[in-house]
Structure 1
Amino acid sequence: MKYFLFTLLFAIAGGSIAEAQILERLGKKVKRKVEERIDRKTGEAVDKGLDKVEEAAEGNGKEAGEDKVNEGQPDGAGQANAGEDKEAAVNAAGEFAVYSKFDFLPGESLLFYDDFSADNTGDFPARWNTSGSGEVVSLGGQSGKWLKVPDNTTSFPETGKTLPENFTVEFDLFYPSGSTRPPVTFGFSESANPAKEGLKGGKLFYFRIDHFLDKVGYSTSLYSGRETNKEYFTNKAAGKPIRVSISVNKQRIRLYLDHEKLFDLPRAFEPATLRNNFHFRAGEIIPAPKESFYIANLRIAETGEDARSKLITEGRWTTTGIHFDVNSARVQPESYGVLKEIASVLQENADVRVQIIGHTDADGPEELNLKLSQERATSVKAVLASEFGILPERMETGGKGESDPVAPNDGPEGRAQNRRVEFIKQ
């Protein structure tokens, strides 16, 4: 790479190599960039052009199968093409554009996480409870494992504590196509054990996705159970995962489905309400057939201090809210809210430079984890530059792989805490 860049610089500056030879060597993808730099004929422009060439060359030079194996997936998951994932992150403008109004910020202090990777297919998950039945399954065409929530059944994670005043809930929702799907209900109640006590406390608050009317509504004890509906066209989302994000700030609650904010309710809870559980319930279908919906990757986390301010005051900010595809360096678009926050800090402090460090869990070979962590940091830098206009020269990247864990790697919750991105003020 160094020899190639030196040759290119010498050719542009001194003309010892014909322009046609340079363009042929770089190919169509870089040709336009080089021609623009030649036209300007300034050293600064050449330097910037070389930076672009180097990034493009590195992004396209990866070999298939060099990515991390089986992070967050059951045994037997295949390897991903790291080069393609990295290039996808650099060119993700179209994907991120639809998330431009997505202001959801996940909590950073993890209270509960489960991707069911520790549970056997066919079993009910060990850290959950239910009023009826359910089982961990694999879904054709979908990665990871899913919890099946059967008809007329309540299922809930055993968090072992009352939820705090300020927290977030995230999970993936999947329901099949067809006209007999049960309504999807998820929400909060005062009951510490809904399987034994039922959903006492008027259910406090719940969202309901009604598949027959293609509506999303809510009901809350504060509003005497009144339900308000807003169209979401859920039939268009049937048969593919939906990312559900919920933000709770004291009495206020917000609901997002994928990138769209459907509800922002300032008085959803009564003051001093105890939210002792978060649960899922499949409404009863009469008559048969009785069907189910499925959930995966449940994450509940407390929010508190503005963590991003730590970058300026303490010189370091770490987040688990930037998500990547499994075994991949591709940044998932739902990370937009977190990326927007860090970008705003950098925009408001133009003299600040940062080092972006990627971290992984300990699944898979150590050398591949190190490589993946470096590629993920590079992808974050690329998105901050392309989507938010942060100058690339203000950001350095690196990766520590699995070498610096903050939690044990013996369960999904610990592994989720270890998969993180760190920003260090330079």
Structure 2
Amino acid sequence: MKKVLILVSILSITLSSHAQLLKKVQRKMENKIEKSVDDLLNSKDQGQQPNAGNTGAANTSGTFDIQTKSEPFLAGNVLIFEDRLDDDIPGRMAKYWQTNSTGSVVEIKGVAGKWLKLADQASYQLDTLLHLPQKFTLEFDLLTRADQASDLRSIDFGFSKNNSTRKYIYGTSNETNVYTSLQYYYETINTTSNNNNNKSRIEFPLSNYANAIMHVSVSVDGSRMQVYIDEHKVLDATVLDPSAPKHFFLSTEKYRNNATALISNLRIYGF
């Protein structure tokens, strides 16, 4: 009798184990089928073909990566004017430039090339009349020396309606077509059009340019103008009157603490 009871107990335990195993297998199969159905429905909702090998989870964090960056600056391919100051005599005013104040060509230790040192509260233009086409690019290098970038106050550049530096060129004056102001003390770059009153303001880390070379690039295409600081686009707007004269100018404000700014490597290209 005891043997019978023992056999019955063993058989019960075995059947129970098999039943639990079968339940686990069944549950796994159900989970796999449910997941396959969910994947199929999700792929249809997203307009995708089902992919049995795709088990990646969807990004639900609310963040995404921008794959397209702003268009890069593209210089023209027909040289209109270039001045690297190579033939200028140090100590004299640059021969292709004019000013309402003073200026002198200098060489800076540790920096290649020659530079036109810009006096404070002064305006500068080319001393030759250039016919600029509807589409062109303009580039120059701006070198600064200062304890702090804010000591430079602001430096403006743009296009005026005449080529006269008999007096200081204010960006807000009626003679100015459009101008961009590097406002070092506010760390902003402002552009103002006197043609259509279009104004823009963008924050920019100008404090990084207390003792550095800044490459400025300007692209003009009819009424549209783009401005780049190094490779960063800081303006892309309709600010010009295509029929209005355009003469490049640059104006400095009163420096502080013996700060100074210098310009070189001016290049103007057409297409």
> TM-score, with normalisation over the residues of structure 1?
0.44
* Distance across 1 between alignment mates of 2:243 and 2:120: 33
Question: Is 1:284 equivalent to 2:254 in the alignment?
Answer: yes
Task: Determine the C-alpha separation between the residues in 1 that align with 2:221 and 2:132.
Answer: 11
The match for 2:213 is 241
> Residue deviations 1:219-252, cap 9 Å, x none?
110243x643211101113211111110000100
Identity %: 27
Shift of the 221–152 alpha-carbon distance from structure 1 to 2, 3 Å rule, reads: same
Rounded to whole Å, the distance in 2 between the matches of 1:300 and 1:234 is 25
Aligned to 1:165: 134
- Assess if the C-alpha contact under 8 Å between 2:100 and 2:168 holds in 1: no
Q: CA deviation at 1:157?
A: 1.5
Q: Secondary structure at the match of 2:207?
A: helix
Matched-pair contact (CA < 8 Å) for 1:182–1:292: no
Q: Matched residues in 1 for 2:222 and 2:202: separation?
A: 23
Q: Could you say what secondary structure the match of 1:152 adopts? A: coil
1: distance between equivalents of 2:71 and 2:119?
31
Query: Equivalents in 1 of 2:76, 2:118: separation in Å?
Result: 26
Aligned to 1:204: 177
Partner of 1:32: none
Q: In the TM superposition, what is the alpha-carbon distance from 1:103 to its structure 2 partner?
A: 2.0
1:105 matched to 2:78? The reply is no
1:152 and 2:158 matched? no
Is contact 1:111–1:159 with CA below 8 Å preserved after alignment?
Answer: no
Partner of 1:374: none
Counterparts of 1:410-425 in structure 2 under 5 Å? none
1:212 alignment partner, SS class: coil
Coordinate RMSD, CA, aligned:
2.1
SS at match of 1:180: helix
- Mapped to 1, the partners of 2:181 and 2:191 lie a distance apart of 6
Structure 2 residue ranges without an equivalent (≥5): 1-68
Corresponding residue for residue 295 of structure 1? 263
Could you tell me how far 1:198 is from its partner in structure 2? 5.3
- The structural deviation recorded for 1:292 is 2.6
Q: Which has the higher strand share?
A: 2
CA distance in 1: counterparts of 2:127 and 2:176, whole angstroms? 17
- Where 1:185 maps in the other structure, the secondary structure is strand
Deviates more, 1:138-147 or 1:204-213: 138-147
Tell me the residue number matched to 1:318.
none
Q: Which amino acid aligns with 1:256?
A: Y
- 3-state secondary structure, aligned to 2:176: coil
Structure 1 segment 195-344 matched on structure 2, within 5 A: 195=166, 201-224=174-197, 227-265=199-237, 267-275=238-246, 277-285=247-255, 289=257, 291-303=259-271
8 A contact 1:151–1:290 mirrored in 2: no
Give, in whole Å, the separation in 2 of the partners of 1:190 and 1:142.
34
Change over 3 Å in CA distance of 1:173–1:239 after alignment to 2 = same
For residue 273 of structure 1, give the secondary structure of its aligned residue in structure 2. coil
1:198-223: CA deviation from partner (whole Å, max 9, x where unpaired): 56644110111011011111111024
After superposition, the C-alpha distances for 1:19-57 in whole angstroms (9 at most, x for unaligned) are xxxxxxxxxxxxxxxxxxxxxxxxxxxxxxxxxxxxxxx
User: Could you tell me which residue of structure 2 aligns to residue 96 of structure 1?
Assistant: none
Q: What is the CA-CA distance between 1:278 and the residue it aligns to? A: 0.3
Q: Is the 8 A contact 2:222 2:241 kept in 1?
A: no
- Secondary structure class of the residue paired with 1:301: strand
> Where in structure 2 are the equivalents of 1:21-40 lying within 5 Å?
none
Question: How many angstroms does 1:168 deviate by?
Answer: 0.5
Calculate the TM-score normalised by the size of structure 2.
0.68
Aligned residue type for 2:266: L
> Alpha-carbon deviation of 1:295?
1.0
Q: Deviations over 1:381-417 (max 9, x none)?
A: xxxxxxxxxxxxxxxxxxxxxxxxxxxxxxxxxxxxx
Does the CA-based 8 Å contact 2:79-2:269 persist in structure 1?
A: yes
- AA aligned to 1:142 is V
Residue 129, structure 1, aligned to residue 98, structure 2: yes
1:207 counterpart letter in structure 2 = T
* Match of residue 63 from structure 2: none
1:180 aligns with 151
- After the TM superposition, which residues 382-393 of structure 1 pair with which residues of structure 2 at under 5 Å, given as runs? none
Which has the bigger relative contact order, CA under 8 A and spacing at least 6? 2
Point out where structure 1 has 5 or more consecutive residues left out of the alignment.
Answer: 1-99, 304-426
Deviations 1:76-119 (A, max 9, x none): xxxxxxxxxxxxxxxxxxxxxxxx75521111221211111101
Distance 2:168 2:214 in 1: 30
Distance 1:217 1:293 in 2: 19
